Structure 1
Amino acid sequence: MEQLQHLSASFANAVWGTPLVLLLLGGGLFFAIYSRFMPYRHFGHAFGIMLGRHDTPDQPGELSHAQALAAALSGTMGLGNISGVALAIVAGGPGAVFWMWMSALVGIATKFFTCTLGVMYRGKDSEGKLQGGPMYIIREALPRGFYPLAILFSLAGLVGTLPIFQANQLTALVRENLFPGGEPLLTSFLIGCAMAAVVALVIFGGLQRVAKVAIALLPIMVITYLAMTLYLLLLHYAQVPGLLASIVTDAFNPQAVGGGLLGVILIGVSRGAFSNEAGVGTEVMAHGAAKTNEPIREGLVAMMGPVADTLIVCTCTALVILLAGTWTDPGDLTGITLTANAFRADLGTLGVGLLLFVTLILASTTMFTMWYYGAKCFGFLFGARLQHYYRWFFVLAVVFGASVSIDVVFNLISGSYGLMAIPTMLATLMLAGRVKAAAKEYFHRHPY
């Protein structure tokens, strides 16, 4: 197992090096400046689109704007917001949170550009059905010589969208709080089987069922989680300004935890990308299924994701963990268990119970959406007619993920996310001019 952990860590570190961080942060900053910060000036219109004021149910696609955002958020707003933040703070200290914020701020522009292209360059799969995603953008909009980038994205997507991280962290929380005296491997296996049954029940109903479940569950989860965290922050309101200050100062500390300034930046950006997926390309597949012939509208809806995901939910998690103070000496606590311990400090058993409820929703909705992403990658590589076989593989992966090491799981998924970002960002940078032109034409027709 030690060898496997070492190999997985080497893989993740090799992918998440300085070049990829520059590609994501630099690319997002380029999109913001190149568009003259246009996406940031239209949040009101984006909110109106999300509320259904501009829905066009007779146009091509599978989902309404709100359903597409819910499906995308159910993938991005997952355990990265809870356990991923804990892992980031333990590895890089409070400063890692600042660089998560930066990845989200530039990620707003990145999501606008990538998801606009996801609708602008939809392509047909082997069964003639309209599909969106970075692999279709590359195939439809770029010269044939760039086709290997589409293959790279799809291969990395098959691994990066596996549900093993979600299954692992949910199992850890359930096992340690509901079955603390059970035999770990057997308990994990049984929990994994139960999760697999629930996942199968939803994903065998297709994307429409996934979106409906996400729309029903996500608001409940967000309200519950924000209520928990706001209560704790109000309880310790005097400490909050100091914690926010430590996040900013540690972000530029040459002696910061995690390898100094560069190390903190790498940790923060990689965890931020794992959380909000801006530039990774998974969200493009969900928004590419929207029922619209107006690509700009879907780009505007998509850009709200990093705000809700990282700037709000991840910040709440970070402040709760920093308040508890256990991140400096976590001991055997890792990921979700460190976050649970932070809530237990003030809310006791109730806090852990509420976190278990939130985690159950987060993990479940994320796994539902990840199936859709993985199936699209599988269909692109091997043919859409074989996609139904992927469901069975995905369900088995839930059981597998419940029983393996958190370090191996996180490194494998994180590294694969990094590989997915390379073709997504390169293609978007090459096609940025077409998005800018489309946005100019759209706002000329619809002056808001």
Structure 2
Amino acid sequence: MKSLCLSFIAIIVLLCALKTSGESYYDDYSYKDYESSEDSVTDISYPATTIQTSSDLTTEGKVIHIGDPLTKELKCPKNCKCSDGFYLVDCSHRNLIEMPKNVPYNTVQLNMSHNLLTKLDVNDLMNCTELRQIFLQENRIETIVNAENFARLPFLHQINLSRNALKPLRGDEFSHAKSLAALLLTNNQNVVAANVPIIQAPKLKTLNLANCSIDQFSDNTFQNLSSLVALYLDNNPLDLAKSMDAFNALINLRTLSIPTVNRDEALDLCRNLNAIDIIHLSLETHDISCFLFTTGSTYEESLIPSMKVPTDAPSTSTEQTASLANSNATETMNNDTNKGTAYDQMCMIYMIISGLALLLVVAILMGFCIIGSRRFGTEMFDRKRSYRKYYPGNLTVDNQNYEAYVKEDLTPISLSDEFESSSR
């Protein structure tokens, strides 16, 4: 009974410890108004490998002391809002004409959307060595300068430049962004130059060129994008017949979204794109299965129901753009959170199993101890009875006082009494 109680208490303590340790990691990124004086100070420890966040927002000018020996204090930039720890910096909807100069070095996500920026100067981001995402949609950005300094942002994997005024790209703007995986260029008119590779990004996986007034691709447009997995070309007046050879370089493309396509163009696309399965048609109620089309099925048999409703040209609504940006950020953060959550769950399961195994071993040992102690007590009792029965006072059972010895509640007879009896 004692072992069961101890086991139950140990299980409760173990589960409480696991729950407490798990709650401090991978909290959702969120913002909430936070009122405090500019002189208020918050002490936290600098995270070595994980990003810890909370829902509180620091206000403009608030100072934080951290444990990093290279930096004694950080400030939230003027006209911006920051999460506790300055991992998220939101400077959107502020009519800013330039990037803040004092963005904290440990910023993970920077939101500069819905401002009046006319250029992206990468030098303004040199302090943000931990930057993963930057949102620049709904500005007036025309050019990207000092692009070679993208090399000093080793973790940057997502850039949103939608709804700007980008001039035709030279092709080398993102060549130094070694970790760039997602680039959104929607609603930038004339962003694609003729006879120039649009982008050189060795690890780019997703490229969105929807609603960019693209009517034709040159043969070398995608020549540096062999790693591309998803390409979105919705709402472009694209002449696929003149652009077919451009797709030959996309050897790993799996997702292609275009407005519409005819029978012959669909067959050529399916043959040129070896890794693709389904071509999404944004202006149709059906998609095309390249797997079926290239394995003997007719065009009609290769048509499959579309997973989405037909879409018109993207709206210029600020609210819709902000919602899209927030959903993109939330999805990316949730992916990171899910990875961490899965790891935490595996660790928790391992710890619980280890704890239960340990408790089982302890319970077994305690059971052996209890059983052994009972057997030992019984054996000692039997030995005592045997001693009293067969060797009372070193006298044999033939002793005439044996019956008296038994009747007197097994009380041994002293040697003096025995001598007195024998002398009589």
Query: TM above 0.5, one fold?
Result: no
User: What's the TM-score bracket when you normalise by the shorter of the two chains?
Assistant: under 0.3
CA radius of gyration, larger in: 2
TM-score, normalising length: structure 2: 0.18
TM-score, normalising length: structure 1: 0.17
The structure showing larger relative contact order (alpha-carbon pairs under 8 Å, at least 6 residues apart) is 1
Greater helix content: 1
